Amino acid sequence: MNGTALWKNRWARIAVAVLVALVLVLAPWNLDPATNQALARIGVFAVAVLGLNVIMGYAGQVSLGQIFFLGLGAYVTAYGVNEGWNVALVFVLAVLVPGIAGYVVALAAARLGGLAIAMVTIALPIIGVPLAKRLADWTGGSQGTSARFTSAPDWFGSDLDDIWQYYIVLAIAAVVFVLVMNLVRGKFGRALAIVKENEAVASSMGISPYRYKVMAFTIAAMIGGVSGFLYMVVVQYTSPETLAFHHSISLLASMVIGGAGSIIGSLIGGAYYVLVPNVTNEIDATLTSLIQGVILLVVLFVLPGGIASLPRVIRRLTRKRDTQSPTQQ
């Protein structure tokens, strides 16, 4: 049985899923706190890239302001925690507030296309940074604001904050990824694919492109809010810098490198966002942007579908070689 046939076996997929789950659950107990923090941050930004993937990878709409929703979710979380609100309520608000903001923006942006929608979404972080500085009573102004609410409980181990935070990120990120995976593989995902391919065809089939684009944008904003909440779980501090436009570009590059329209690509994108800048800074801090740009160009040239498409490319090359071999013989 070859690898492709094996992967199509339901029990094989379940076994792989169980093995991966065990590794993720047990890993932090054998790692140092810095590594656990890095893994938790990967989870945070994997969720952020996933939100961007919903609107760009699956819906095919340009969005250059996803970082705004992460920052908004982080600010809502910090404010709620510092006001003494219940953490469950804070989480709900950290998802709903960016979702509402995304819905309002989508009502206008979804009617546009191309450069027009890009300009609308670019405005989000550009406006968000000075707004966060001005609303100092809620945001802490230029100095930012902190919120500590994820210290490990005594029954878990008071000196195991890094593992506790990792588990919080792992649990919430897993739920979000499963929900999005089911969403894009169902009726909603099929409708998005048709809208992305040809809006005229979608309309002729009774699918409203405007409605589905608004829904995709709103869902992406809500996922951005989740990543903002998780950001505060791990980092416990946010400032106007969190909303900066260059972070949006980094998220976009991470999505492209990981793989647009791919669940696995979002995980790879999260790892790229967290790990690669550290590596490039070690090489030469002054050339970080240049090196990352070269990496992006190389990936786009070699793997247009992102790193997530590598197994598919290998299978295609293998089949091509196998079909050519008998002919050559």
The string of DSSP codes covering 262-288 is -HHHHHHHHHHHHHHHHHHHHHHGGGH
Highest mean pLDDT among 201-205, 252-256, 305-309: 252-256
Model-level pTM?
0.91
pLDDT tens per residue across span 30-75: 889 999 999 999 999 999 999 999 999 898 888 888 999 999 999 9
Residue 5's pLDDT is 53
Q: Is the pLDDT of residue 329 over 60?
A: no
Mean pLDDT of the chain: 88
Let me know: does 120 contact 108? Beta carbons within 8 Å: yes
Q: Which carries the bigger pLDDT value, residue 56 or residue 9?
A: 56
Percentage of the chain lying above the pLDDT 90 cut: 53
Q: Using the predicted structure, report yes or no on whether residue 320 has a pLDDT greater than 90.
A: no
- Polymer length of the chain: 329
DSSP assigned state of 31: S
The predicted model gives 131-138 an average pLDDT of: 92
Using CA atoms, how far residue 313 sits from 282, 305, 310, 323, in Å, is 31, 9, 5, 15
- Going by C-alpha positions, the residue among 279, 216, 222, 213 that lies closest to residue 70 is 222
267-277 b/e with 16+ CB inside 10 Å = b?
bbbbbbbbebb
Q: Give CA–CA dist 115/111, Å, rounded.
A: 12
Distances in Å between the Cα of 157 and the Cα atoms of 32, 48, 96, 218, 235 are 15, 29, 32, 38, 20
Q: Is the pLDDT of residue 3 over 60?
A: no
Would you say 90 and 78 are in contact if contact means Cβ atoms under 8 Å apart? Answer: no
146 forms beta bridges with: 237
Q: What confidence score (pLDDT) does residue 61 get?
A: 85
Max CA pair span of the chain: 77
In sequence order, the β-bridge partners of residue 238 are 145
Half-sphere exposure of residue 178: CA atoms within 13 angstroms, side-chain side: 7
The amino acid present at 281, given as its one-letter code, is N
